[in-house]
Amino acid sequence: MLKLLNGFYKLEIPDIKMASFALKLGSDCPFFLQSSPCYARGRGEILEPIVLDLSGYSILLVYPEVQISTAWAFSQIHPEPATVDIRELVSDPVEDWKNQLRNDFEIPVFRQYPQLQKIKIQLYARGALYASMTGSGSSLYGIFRKGQIPAAVIDPSFRQTIIP
């Protein structure tokens, strides 16, 4: 919305100022002003561009309409230092991510909402090369080879979006 207003009203607010406005909305909001992949540090506001090409893949985004309190989710995690540098890992083939790239929120969220873990299992069963929960949940996504997202839906009651 910030980018839309800036462009529509020809405000010409510099990117750094837009990022400061976005940060007031939420720690990770400056990320969404970017139009290219970034590695986020701090609370999500320190951004470093990375090289990531997903043009050979399609993404299935599943929203099961489960409401998860972000405050609750953060109170449940005890992040550990990464064993691999994510900036390097994302240059590996997507199929290599499964056993190396994890979302720390999944353990407590899946324990509280086992139906979400089932969705992740179903994404892999339907051919996802990598699947994960988005942030603190509750949406999940699967990365598939371009054009190979199965026609069968996870569950007709869930909102699902294909990103070609």
Q: Which of 20-34, 61-75, 92-106, 147-161 has the lowest mean pLDDT?
A: 147-161
More confident residue, 27 or 14: 14
Q: Which of 16-25, 46-55, 99-108, 147-156 has the lowest mean pLDDT?
A: 147-156
C-alpha dihedral sign at 125, 138, 148, 37: negative
The pLDDT assigned to 152 comes to 61
Q: Are strands 38-41 and 46-49 parallel, antiparallel or unpaired?
A: antiparallel
What does the domain layout of the chain look like in residue ranges? Answer: 1-50, 53-164
Asked if residue 156 has pLDDT above 80, the reply is no
Q: What is the CA radius of gyration of the chain?
A: 17
Across the chain, the runs of DSSP E, i.e. the strands, are: 38-41, 46-49, 57-63, 130-133, 140-145, 159-163
C-alpha angle with apex 163: 61 to 60, nearest 5 degrees? 30
**Digit-coded pLDDT (tens) for 84-138:** 899 999 999 999 999 999 999 999 999 999 999 999 999 999 999 999 999 999 9
The CATH H-level (homologous superfamily) assignment of domain 53-164 is: GHMP kinase, C-terminal domain (3.30.70.890)
The pLDDT assigned to 134 comes to 94
Q: Which residues pair with 162 in a beta bridge?
A: 60
Q: Which of 105, 112, 102, 147 is nearest to 127 (CA)?
A: 147
Q: Which of 131, 65, 71 is nearest to 103 (CA)?
A: 131
Contact 79, 102 (CB under 8 A): no
**Digit-coded pLDDT (tens) for 27-42:** 889 999 998 999 988 8
